[in-house]
Amino acid sequence: MLKRISAALALAGAAVMMSSCASSATPAGAGSRADCTTTTSLGVVAGTARAGLCAFRGIRYAEAPVGSLRFRPPRPVGRWRGTLQATDDKAVCPQDRDTMSEDYPDARTLFTDEDCLRLNVWTPGTDHRRRPVIVFVHGGAARFGTANEPRYDGAKLATRGDAVVVSINYRLGVLGWSELGGLDPSYKGSGNNGLRDQMTALRWVRDHIADFGGDPANVTAVGESAGAFSLSAMLATDHPERLFQRVILESGSGALVHSAAYERKVASALPVKSVAELRRMSTKQILGMQNKIIDQDEPGILGATYFAPYIDGTLVRDSVIKRVAQGNARAVDLLLGTNRDEMNFFGQLGPEAMTGIAQQYETVFFPQELAARRKRMVAAYRRGRSATAAALAMFSDQGMRVPATRLAQAQSRWRPTYLYEFGWRPTEEYGAVHTIELPFVFGSFRFTGILGGDKAFQADRARLTTLSDQMIDAWTSFTRTGDPNARRTVQRPTWPAYRAPQRATMMWNVDATVANDPRGRERALWDGYPFAAFDLPA
């Protein structure tokens, strides 16, 4: 059963030329929607027109990381000749199909194409109107997922928010997140290559998004789960404001960025003696090796935390919360939050799975540093809960909710910061699980990996559509101005900035409300624990 859970666990130069289809005699955006062609400093790109938007799919932002470039930092793409037909919506970085939690663009069971460093753009027009830009970094345990999942379709965000939406692929698993410097010093830092891919894509956006109608000086990076871990790690790099002006973190923060010690443990599990040996392996062989390592050494929910950015001291300088508290991201606006029952996601295979996840939390994940207060904490969480539900609530708080409050508090010293909790529960048994906010943020209403989601949505479609509209308005308002309250086309409460001691939190549900310090007594039980990085006892 735990193996099944593991398998299911699872974000050059400046543009210089005007759109080839716009003219001074044409209203802004009208001509560009006709043929969806634009000219960048890299070459001409042609997309497709759809529902009043231009969609560009599968634009390569970095060279294929194959051959001598495998396990190397990404190399930005160069110029091309002719017109690039940006119509490929099937790019998926190498992975085995995750049959439960991912919403793949086709029916393949195995994805092996390493030439996957591509991005998608949705825009109301290639007309140089300098719209706000949203760049989405997908989740999937840094092991699964793709920017081409239908649930991540950017059309509604682009239309409702008059924004340019970008989604990006990045290397996954061993290919993107294995530190090989111990095998060959010239590969030092390879454990953050997936992060470097994302940063390269963000630089591509900075340099070229103006030719797609976006404003390179107004970029918001949005990440979910592993995508949020990655973006939070960027907050601990030098000058994150050069990558984006704003960040939205959904269900992920710096607490799950790996420590250097944990990354060494991951590296030591590779059953090879040289990088050359790894480079000779086929993609399929690497995926098989990866699955074997995780199933044998890190069963159950540990598979969801096996790959991640890590604190290497060079790119990711130190603990995210520490760096943010020191003002490293003082020029970046921050909105973040979690779902009410995050860890129940990994128990959706049934009562046995729920019990198994709770037991693994109690035996593996609970911090040894808090052993002296464990009995008191368990007693507090048991009020009104079963033993299993209490363990899962503690796990959700430790892994997601409390670190988010810490990061919000750290950044609130420098910038207005906004915290949320998503609480809609399609079933009482599982609640508001990990990933449940995504169908609402994108307005796609695709409930992959959320048991009972489709049925519950159909039963309350009108109110849940309003909830989605409220969230999209808040997300795109924050994207445009740094304030989620600036645009409210659908009535919703004013969302105050997060500051201690009030700790105002937007509670997203069919009747959205604002609560001050929700479940504050449970949050306070974690006081003194640093949430510096992800590590486990030896």
d(CA 467, CA 474): 11
The yes-or-no verdict on residue 10 having pLDDT over 80 is no
**Structural contact between residues 212 and 53, judged by C-beta atoms closer than 8 angstroms:** no
Give 336's strand partners: 249, 419
The DSSP result for 405-427, as a single string, is HHHHHHHHTTS-EEEEEE---S-
Which pLDDT belongs to residue 128? 87
Average pLDDT over residues 374-392: 97
User: 60 is in which domain, residue-wise?
Assistant: 2-524
> Which of 503, 517, 335 is closest to 409 using CA atoms?
503
* Residue 90 Cα to chain centre, angstroms: 19
Q: Is residue 418 part of a domain?
A: yes
Please state the separation of Cα 532 from the chain's center in Å. 19
Taking the C-alpha atoms of residue 194 and residue 174, their distance in angstroms, rounded to an integer, is: 10
* pLDDT, tens digit (0-9, with 9 covering 90-100), for 493-532: 999 999 999 999 999 999 999 999 999 999 999 999 999 9
Domain count along the chain? 1
Q: Is residue 529 part of a domain?
A: no
In a domain, 34, yes or no: yes
Q: What is the mean pLDDT of the chain?
A: 93
Residue 94 lies in a domain: yes
**Where are the alpha helices (H) located in 300-401, listed in sequence order?**
320-325, 351-360, 374-382, 387-396
For 300: left if phi > 0, alpha if psi spans -120 to 50, otherwise beta; the answer is: left
What local confidence, expressed as pLDDT, does residue 231 receive? 98
Q: What CATH number is given to the structural domain containing 75?
A: 3.40.50.1820
* C-beta of residue 348 within 8 angstroms of C-beta of residue 4: no
Just list the catalytic residues.
225, 342, 434
Q: What is the pLDDT of residue 35?
A: 80
Mean pLDDT of 284-306: 89
What span, in angstroms and rounded, lies between the C-alpha atoms of 494 and 497? 10
In a domain, 371, yes or no: yes
pLDDT at 92: 98
Give the model confidence (pLDDT) of 296-314 as tens digits: 866 678 889 999 999 999 9
pLDDT of residue 26: 30
Beta strand pairing status for 214-224 and 333-339?
unpaired
Q: What is the band of 537 on the pLDDT scale with cuts at 50, 70, 90?
A: confident
Measure the CA–CA gap between 248 and 157, rounded to whole angstroms.
Answer: 14
What band does 6 get if pLDDT is binned at 50, 70 and 90?
A: very low
What band does 344 get if pLDDT is binned at 50, 70 and 90?
A: very high
What pLDDT, on a 0 to 100 scale, did the predictor assign at position 32? 40
Q: Quote the CA–CA distance of 13 and 26 in Å, as a whole number.
A: 28
pLDDT, average across residues 380-393 = 97
Residue 433 falls inside a structural domain: yes
* pLDDT at res. 538: 62
What per-residue confidence (pLDDT) applies to 30?
34
Asked whether the whole model's pTM tops 0.85, one would answer yes
User: Does residue 202 have a pLDDT over 50?
Assistant: yes
Name the token pair of 34: 């006709």
Would you say residue 537 lies in a domain? no
Give me the percent of the chain exceeding a pLDDT of 90: 89
Burial class of residue 468 in the structure, from the number of CB atoms within 10 Å of its CB (0-12 exposed, 13-18 middle, 19+ buried): buried
State yes or no: pLDDT of 9 exceeds 70.
no
Instruction: Record the tokens describing residue 68, joined without a space.
Output: 């001598």
pLDDT, residue 297, reads: 67
3-state secondary structure of 165: strand
Residue 295, pLDDT score = 87
User: Residue 16 pLDDT more than 60?
Assistant: no
Q: Is residue 534 part of a domain?
A: no
The candidate with the shortest Cα–Cα distance to 171, out of 209, 207, 200, is: 200
Q: Which one has a higher pLDDT value, 464 or 537?
A: 464
3-state class (DSSP) for residue 87: strand
User: Alpha-carbon distance 62 to 70, whole Å?
Assistant: 12
Among the listed ranges 32-46, 81-95, 219-233, 349-363, which one has the minimum average pLDDT value?
A: 32-46
pLDDT over 50 at 48, yes or no:
yes
pLDDT at 371 exceeding the cut of 90? yes
User: pLDDT tens digits, residue range 430-488?
Assistant: 999 999 999 999 999 999 999 999 999 999 999 999 999 999 999 999 999 999 999 88
d(CA 125, CA 431): 40
